[in-house]
Amino acid sequence: MKTAYQAVLATFTRIYRYEHLGSLAAWDQAAMMPSKGNDARGAAMAELDVLIHHTLTSSELAANIAGAEQENLDEAEQASLREIKRQWKTANLLPAALVEAKTLLGSHCSHEWRTQRQGNDWAGFLANFREVVRLSREEAQLLAQTSGLSPYESLLNKYEPGMSCAELDRIFGDVKSWLPGLIRQAMERQGNKVLLAATGPFAIEKQRALGLEVMALLGFDFEAGRLDVSHHPFCGGVPEDVRITTRYTEVDFMQSMMGIVHETGHARYEQNLPRENVVLPVGRARSMGIHESQSLSFEMQLGRNPAFLELISPLVKKYLGDQAAFEPANLAAMYTRVRPDFIRVDADELTYPAHIILRYEIERALIDGEIEADDVPALWDEKMQAYLGVDTKGNFKNGCMQDIHWTDGAFGYFPSYTLGAMYAAQYFASIRKLHPDLDQQIAAGNLEPIFSWLNANIWSQASQWETDELVRRATGEVLNPAHFRAHLEARYLG
């Protein structure tokens, strides 16, 4: 009888239920809550986070984990205990007062950011941001004390377990060596091609209807989730009740539609995690890089594929009007147009990694104490100029204030986006080996080869395996960024 292990499972079942409520409170805060409710909501969420922290750091749980380690656990249970201990160890390095303070400050800073960004109010944002950086550095120092990691790496490992700055520097350094030339070549090739602009306005209710039909095509389970609107698109909730959001503008349908495709990738992962372990860490997404690999499998590998755009061209015409811009070839040209610009979430596939690399370099220097919060705008503009040739001087709204991630201290998250793009390219290289006619199947509306492969190799595996082993089992090798470069060269120079 594995009594200690069963007691540990009972505790984590309770924690999952707390986290369920917290995730819905966070979704409502971003999508539905009236602005005057933010202080009370932040306090309630901080109280819940402290409750979860107390549960994780209780002497009873520590004793049960120690007891479970002495029991005769099978391979699956050992993997489960491994993931439980990882979460437990992290919690025990942080005092409850810091957990509470970070949640309260993050809620306040994120809420204020919504209006400060619109007003290009860097000075107002900076007052809160300095405090977010201070608390994040405090957290990073505490996590780094026993891990042998740098302060920034200790935060990075919250999102990418096992990843090091040395490995990121190697990966991103390689990308920086060939990406500028590839961007230049792609823009030269596209320079003489005629691109028809879609004529708006595009009614928001029509864009929403289009998005819902595309979600259905992509297999979203509407009995286990919903679509809403927020300032910054995201996927939240829990596997049984996934909440995704997008944002609309009547002058541009492209942003909302591909944003929905992206978030649906996240949602399909969540909705297909193994239900028998859904309350346990081993039943959750393996890392944020793996999570982003799902959204980018949907958005980049599938969504911007000319075969998929051929498939949905009739749907775009159905909801937004029958115009020449919505012909498949022109849609493909629209969604693969390379143009360095300000905004990360609107960036084309080719310039996107540059947005991520500059954020990684800035946030690493910030957490490791090499720069201060006040230094961010100048460094941001310097790197935007160097990497993309874009001037952001004085344009805080479309520069260093554009993302929500830093407002609540999510330092270490940004690398997950480009790691996810690399994993996604590697997955599709494997899928294409099994299905050489994949593009023809996509154009014909048969997306099942993609979904079946992802379900068998990623979704159903959750956190049973550590990241390298998960990817090796799926593709035959650990992360190999060469697949990413090969994908980009084939799409933009082929």
240 and 262 part of one domain: yes
Q: Is 231 helix (H, G, I), strand (E, B) or coil?
A: coil
pLDDT of res. 455: 98
Per the structure, the complete domain to which residue 114 belongs is given by 3-148
Is the domain of 111 the same as that of 258? no
The pLDDT of residue 181 is 97
pLDDT at 232: 85
Catalytic residue from among 263, 292, 299, 349? 263
Q: Are residues 358 and 427 in the same domain?
A: yes
Whole-angstrom distance, CA of residue 5 vs CA of residue 282: 14
For 226-257, the pLDDT digits (tens) are 999 998 899 999 999 999 999 999 999 999 99
* Per-residue pLDDT tens over the stretch 53-90: 999 999 999 999 999 999 999 999 999 999 999 999 99
Last residue of a domain, one of 132, 148, 164: 148
Task: Return the axis-axis angle of helices 96-118 and 122-144, rounded to nearest 10°.
Answer: 150
Residue ranges of the chain with per-residue pLDDT less than 50: none
Together in a domain, 141 and 180? no
Predicted model pTM:
0.97
Task: State whether 94 and 129 are in the same domain.
Answer: yes
Q: Which amino acid is at 123?
A: A
Q: Are residues 259 and 212 in the same domain?
A: yes
- Tally of structural domains, the chain: 2
Q: Which residues contact 153 (CB under 8 A, 6 or more apart)?
A: 144, 147, 163, 164, 165
Instruction: From residue 208, give the alpha-carbon distance in Å to each of 24, 214, 245, 441, 445.
Output: 22, 10, 11, 26, 21
Do residues 200 and 342 share a domain? yes
User: Does 188 share its domain with 101?
Assistant: no
Does the annotation mark 263 as catalytic?
yes
CATH of the domain at 310: 1.10.1370.30
Answer yes or no: are the C-beta atoms of 256 and 207 closer than 8 Å.
yes
Same structural domain, 200 and 144? no
User: Are residues 441 and 418 both part of a single domain?
Assistant: yes
The domain boundary residue, chosen from 148, 178, 209: 148
> How far apart are the C-alpha atoms of 124 and 105, rounded to whole Å?
14
Indicate if 128 and 156 belong to the same structural domain.
no
Domain end position, chosen among 113, 132, 148 = 148
Do residues 309 and 206 share a domain?
A: yes
